[in-house]
Structure 1
Amino acid sequence: MNDLIDGLQLKIERLENEINFRNGLISMLSHDSKELFGNFLWLIEALEEKTITEEDFFKLLPQVKSDARKNLQTVQDSTAWLKTQYGEFKIKPVTIMVTDLFQYLKEKYAARLQEKNINFYFKGDHNAVLTNDRLLLEYVLDKILNNAVKFSSPGQDIYLQAVTEDDRMVISVTDSGTGMNEKYLSGIYTYDNPVFLGTSGEKGAGLSLKIVKNFISLMRGNITIISSENNGTTVSLFLPKL
């Protein structure tokens, strides 16, 4: 009887989490879209009515561009998540060399790494192999590295490390950037956590980590985040080899 009750409670908790995730996603998309298009419409109308000069109009365009980029990222993240929610989504396990993932990320982020003069290194088992969904794993590591670069200062290093532990693989991304206060960690996957600015003023919607956690669950793994203010962050993925 107790096992049945525990099982029902677990199902209820999962359902509540899914509902909260969907509601938060809809709320965030609605808010960001209204804000972006509202600001852009206000600018155009102000220029037409000559309540601002053309010079001031063009001065404000970089902020509009930044907001548009953030909004586009939110839409892309949402699309990636939605693809896993319709139909009978199943992960597609393939054999993955962790060093291949490292090279993929290093090439994708080459321009940003160079722009901030950040070195990206691989540590650990160079022969590390796991079997899992490559697309989901690439998405997860992409978002984690994106945050690491965003919150790192010029000249700092970032490491991707792979450690094999019995029947699981531990993949970690470590930076020595701004980090975050411990009081924010408990709410990092919720919709009421604050939006932090990167070291070059980069701004994120805070949606990526929520989808990251969802994708890791699909891969039957876990995630931990260890961070302290001004001392950097380590994000670790614990994934079954399958």
Structure 2
Amino acid sequence: MIILNFVLILSPPIQTETTSTLESYSILNMALLVLLCCIGLYALFKLYTRRAQIQKLVLQKKVEKRTSEISKQKEELQKQSEELKKAYEEIKVKNIAIEEAFEHLTNSFAKLSDLNREKDGIISIVAHDLRTPLNNIEGLIQLVSMDGNLSDDQKDYIIKIRTVVKHGNEMIRDLLDINQAKNQKPELKISTIDLTEFITNWNVHFEKSLAAKNQQLVLTNEFQDLTIQTDAGLLSRILDNLMTNAIKFSEKGTSIYININCEDDKLILSIKDEGPGISAADQQKMFKPFTRLSATPTGGEPSNGLGLSIIKSLCQQLGGKIRVESELEKGTTFIVSIPMQIETAKA
């Protein structure tokens, strides 16, 4: 009706029948065109509205899905937060336990340090105090030896007493060396040493020990004309300990080989025996103090388990090192490497 009224309003007055017919057709066509436009606009409006509704539904589903995901994440985060809180409480408890344990260890370490100092002091005092009676015994033995009316048994007793005194003094010296090596760096007395003269003088001290077990010392001549700058006392003690061990753990009638040469500004000294050898297990612990190995002295000689640890300490003091090559039933070779020259400033 609205469209029809609109058409009538726009229509001009009827002049003639033909004109009126043409005008009627024009008006009708225009009305139809307007009607079609209105229908198209309505269709577009409905299509847009439908599309908007669909988009709204899709968006709503996305929002719901995202909301659900956020809710789950929130629950997971809340759960993780509770777990972290629980873990924090556990860590806090453990930290308190660790602090208490650390405090206990600190106190224990302080007590152990005090006990260790007391032990070192006792060792020094006992060692020094033991020397006095041993020296007194040695003095008394010298007085008794001056008597020319001693029987063979008495002379034998005197020899045995002197041997015991000697072993006691050696043990005291070893204890003092171990104690000193742990607590302070000894002062080196550096001097120039002619190895030929040094070895000749050193070798004399073991002639009786070798003869007692019918053993032979074989020396190489490669050290001839060699001179080194080091502490003669420490070097002599290294050789003494190695030689004593070689004699002590070798059977009667065997040979001991000493090889001395120079390689890359290092003095390489090796002592090889024909003893029982050292097992792999013993080689792992042989340089630790107070360690007794499986092998035993072949002549009933005493052993305090300090010799090898002292040798290692003496080698380190001279800036060198020691290693061993040994197999069971194939003898043992100790190899010492020390610098040919130690600067006086380092002493």
2:336 to 213, 237, 242: 237
Q: Which moved more, 1:97-106 or 1:85-94?
A: 85-94
Q: 1:213 aligns with which of 312, 331, 336?
A: 312
Structure 2 match to 1:115: 212
Q: TM-score, normalised by structure 2?
A: 0.48
**Distance in 1 (alpha carbons) for counterparts of 2:184 and 2:162:** 35
Contact 1:70/1:204 (8 A) holds in 2: no
Alignment equivalent of 1:168, drawn from 266, 289, 303: 266
Structure 1 position 189 matched with structure 2 position 287 = yes
Is this contact kept in 2: 1:174–1:235, CA < 8 A? yes
CA distance in 1, matches of 2:164, 2:201: 28
SS at structure 1 position matched to 2:261: strand
**Matched positions, count:** 191
Q: Call closer, same or farther: CA 1:193–1:87 in 2, change over 3 Å.
A: closer
Classify 1:88/1:76 alpha carbon distance in 2 versus 1 (closer, same or farther; 3 Å).
Answer: closer
Match of 1:92 in 2: 189
User: Does the 8 Å CA contact 1:128/1:162 hold for their aligned counterparts?
Assistant: no
Q: Provide the alpha-carbon RMSD of the alignment.
A: 3.3
Q: 1:236 to 1:101 in 2, by over 3 A?
A: farther
Amino acid aligned to 2:288: T
Q: Which residue of 2 aligns with 1:159?
A: 257
Equivalent residue, structure 2, for 1:44: none
State the 1:80 CA deviation. 4.2
Letter in 2 for 1:233: T
Contact 2:290/2:305 (8 A) holds in 1: no
Distance 1:192 1:214, change over 3 A: closer
| In structure 2, distance between residues paired with 1:138 and 1:81 | 17
Which is bigger in relative contact order (C-alpha 8 A, separation at least 6)?
1
**8 Å CA contact retained: 1:226, 1:234:** yes
Q: Distance in 2 between the 1:88 and 1:199 partners?
A: 35
Distance 2:201 2:245 in 1: 17
Residues of 1 paired with 2:202 and 2:291: CA distance? Answer: 27
Provide Cα deviations, 1:97-120, integer angstroms capped at 9, x if missing partner: 233332233210111111111111
Preserved contact between residue 261 and residue 269 of structure 2 (Cα < 8 Å): yes
**Match for residue 45 of structure 1?**
none
1: CA distance, partners of 2:188 / 2:276: 34
Counterpart Cα distance in 1 of 2:185 and 2:279: 39
Structure whose CA Rg is larger: 2
Q: Distance in 2 between matches of 1:106 and 1:192?
A: 28
SS for the counterpart of 2:235 is: helix
Question: Which of the pair is proportionally richer in helix?
Answer: 2
Structure 1: gaps of 5 or more residues: 1-15, 34-62
Query: What are the ranges of 5 or more consecutive residues in structure 2 without an aligned counterpart?
Result: 1-112, 131-159, 342-347
Cα contact 1:102–1:160 (8 A) shared by 2: no
The alpha-carbon deviation at position 89 of structure 1 amounts to 3.3
TM-score (norm 1): 0.67
Give the drift of 1:182.
1.6
Structure 1 counterpart of 2:19? none
Amino acid at match of 1:147: N
Cα separation, 2, equivalents of 1:88 and 1:192: 21
2:302 to 203, 225, 229: 203
Other structure's SS at 1:162 match: strand
Equivalent runs, 1:37-52 vs 2, <5 Å: none
Aligned partners of 1:90 and 1:191: how far apart in 2? 22
